[in-house]
Amino acid sequence: MNVRSLRFSHYRNLCQGEYRPCPGVNLLYGNNAQGKTNLLEAIWLFTGGKSFRGARDGELVAFEQPSAQLEMDFTAAGRDQSAEIIIKNSKRTAALNGVDKGAASRLVGNFCAVVFSPEHLSLVKDGPMGRRQFIDAALCQQTPAYASLLGRYQHTLTQRNALLKDIPRHSELLDTLDIWEDKLARYGAGIALRRMKYIADLSPFAAGFYQGIAEGKETLEVHYQSSFWEQEQPTSQEQLQTALQHSLLQNRREDIACGFTTVGPHRDDVALQVDGRSARMYASQGQQRSTVLALKLAEASILMETLGERPVVLLDDVMSELDTARQDYLLNHIQGWQVFITCCEPTPVLRLAEGTAVRIQQGELLADAPPVPPAAGTTCENE
């Protein structure tokens, strides 16, 4: 899968222009606030998703303009395709290969990408919720039925929690817990099993990418940490269901005391370990960034297995905090993928063996002469 060209008109600060990337590595460099992330965000919208920065549709249109337009030519499913997105009156609508699709979310499944943005560092730095969301988002993309399973689990969990709060005042309600726990165990086992399988599949890819990034000097291990299953991979969903039902029953007294459910997939986590130690507690900035990058590239690899072709990889502001060797891996050793990398410093352009480099200045794309490396210690400033 790759982007052949992107035309934009009044998309944020990208006024009017066309971008023609190559099928390999594409660098977008320039000072702060020039439009690099905006360009990645524009490509991302063709996945059918919302802005990866959490922006609302109306915010994507250039100030003082009524609408924004994006057109992309891309190759996917073995053929050349085109799509168009129009953002107007705070709505995104789309057409695919000349056919009106209505809401742009209906583009989903035709063009696929994986994005790394600095906010994703929270995957390592913050609590388990972000890690659970990472797996859930990937599984929802793989199988839409997973989203409804999550919805049913969440609904049942809310019911059990409400009951837990009422029981101290209405002890007769204790008997009704059985019904909700039955359901919770069934849905919860389905979720945990799929998540465990996803992490088991992801783990070798993540370890491989991390090894490449760290030149084999460090290792990354990724494990699913269940709140109710401590053994190796379960052989069936029934095993997990029985274990969860048992844990719910065992924890009833504690759950009633605190007013919420203390076991289940909503309390699970993913353990990330660099050289055998918690990445959250011990990894350096560069190691944490490398960990998230490895996870994202692994996510892309799993997606490739599902789709039968490689999704596009968007790496926003990935270079900072990485040493030259780690940067070099991204620039020259991710073979066979179309990758977009944004950075401030022009020096990576000089180290890019193959690929394209475009400078972005005030929303304009400038394919100018190779940059002169700045003096050591220079940081990027506003233009």
The smaller minimum CB distance to Mg ion, of residues 23 and 118, is found at: 118
Please state the closest distance from residue 283 (CB atom) to ligand ATP, in A. Answer: 24
The smaller minimum CB distance to ligand ATP, of residues 34 and 273, is found at: 34
Report H helices in 80-176.
122-125, 128-142, 144-166
Helices and strands: H and E segment counts in the chain: 11, 15
Q: How many CA atoms lie within 13 A of 353 on its CB side?
A: 9
Q: Which amino acid is at 369?
A: A
The smaller minimum CB distance to ligand ATP, of residues 59 and 238, is found at: 59
Q: One symbol per residue from 161 to 200: x for binding ligand ATP (CB under 6 A), - otherwise; what is it?
A: ----------------------------------------
Q: Which of Mg ion, ligand ATP, none does residue 188 bind to, with CB < 5 to 8 Å depending on kind?
A: none
Instruction: Please report which helix (H) or strand (E) contains residue 197, including its range.
Output: helix 177-213
Q: How many CA atoms lie within 13 A of 381 on its CB side?
A: 4
Residues 17-76 interacting with ligand ATP (rule: CB under 6 A): 30, 32-38, 59, 61-63
The smaller minimum CB distance to Mg ion, of residues 312 and 360, is found at: 360
Beta strands at 2-11 and 14-19: parallel, antiparallel or unpaired: antiparallel
Nearest Cα residue to 181 out of 258, 264, 268, 266: 264
Q: Which of Mg ion, ligand ATP, none does residue 311 bind to, with CB < 5 to 8 Å depending on kind?
A: none
Q: One symbol per residue from 334 to 373: x for binding ligand ATP (CB under 6 A), - otherwise; what is it?
A: ----------x-----------------------------
Report H helices in 232-284.
237-250, 252-258, 279-282
Alpha carbon of 352 to those of 244, 334, 356: distances in Å? 51, 12, 8
Task: Compute how many residues bind ligand ATP; rule: CB under 6 A.
Answer: 16
Q: Which of ligand ATP, Mg ion, none does residue 297 bind to, with CB < 5 to 8 Å depending on kind?
A: none
Order of strands, edge to edge, in the sheet holding 2-11?
14-19, 2-11, 67-76, 79-88, 91-96, 99-103
The smaller minimum CB distance to ligand ATP, of residues 100 and 383, is found at: 383
> Could you give phi then psi for residue 73, rounded to 5 degrees?
-100, 130
The smaller minimum CB distance to Mg ion, of residues 278 and 285, is found at: 285
Instruction: State how far Cα 164 lies from the chain centre.
Output: 35
Nearest Cα residue to 157 out of 75, 26, 259: 259
- Determine if 13 is a binding residue for ligand ATP (CB under 6 A): yes
Whats the size of the chain, residue-wise? 383
Q: Which of ligand ATP, Mg ion, none does residue 12 bind to, with CB < 5 to 8 Å depending on kind?
A: ligand ATP
Q: Which of Mg ion, ligand ATP, none does residue 339 bind to, with CB < 5 to 8 Å depending on kind?
A: none
Q: Which of Mg ion, ligand ATP, none does residue 33 bind to, with CB < 5 to 8 Å depending on kind?
A: ligand ATP
Alpha carbon of 215 to those of 15, 201, 292, 312, 323: distances in Å? 41, 22, 16, 24, 11
The smaller minimum CB distance to ligand ATP, of residues 12 and 289, is found at: 12
The smaller minimum CB distance to Mg ion, of residues 52 and 205, is found at: 52
Please state the closest distance from residue 317 (CB atom) to Mg ion, in A. Answer: 5
Decide: residue 99, CB within 10 A, 0-12 exposed, 13-18 middle, 19+ buried: exposed
Q: Which of ligand ATP, Mg ion, none does residue 375 bind to, with CB < 5 to 8 Å depending on kind?
A: none
Q: Which amino acid is at 126?
A: D
The Cα–Cα gap between 180 and 159 comes to: 7
Please state the closest distance from residue 13 (CB atom) to ligand ATP, in A. Answer: 4
Q: Which of Mg ion, ligand ATP, none does residue 32 bind to, with CB < 5 to 8 Å depending on kind?
A: ligand ATP
Residues 25-54 interacting with Mg ion (rule: CB under 5 A): 37
The smaller minimum CB distance to ligand ATP, of residues 7 and 197, is found at: 7
Choose which of 12, 186, 280, 326 interacts with ligand ATP (CB under 6 A): 12
CB 329 within 8 A of CB 358: no
Binding site for Mg ion (CB under 5 A): 37
Binding site for ligand ATP (CB under 6 A): 12-13, 30, 32-38, 59, 61-63, 317, 344
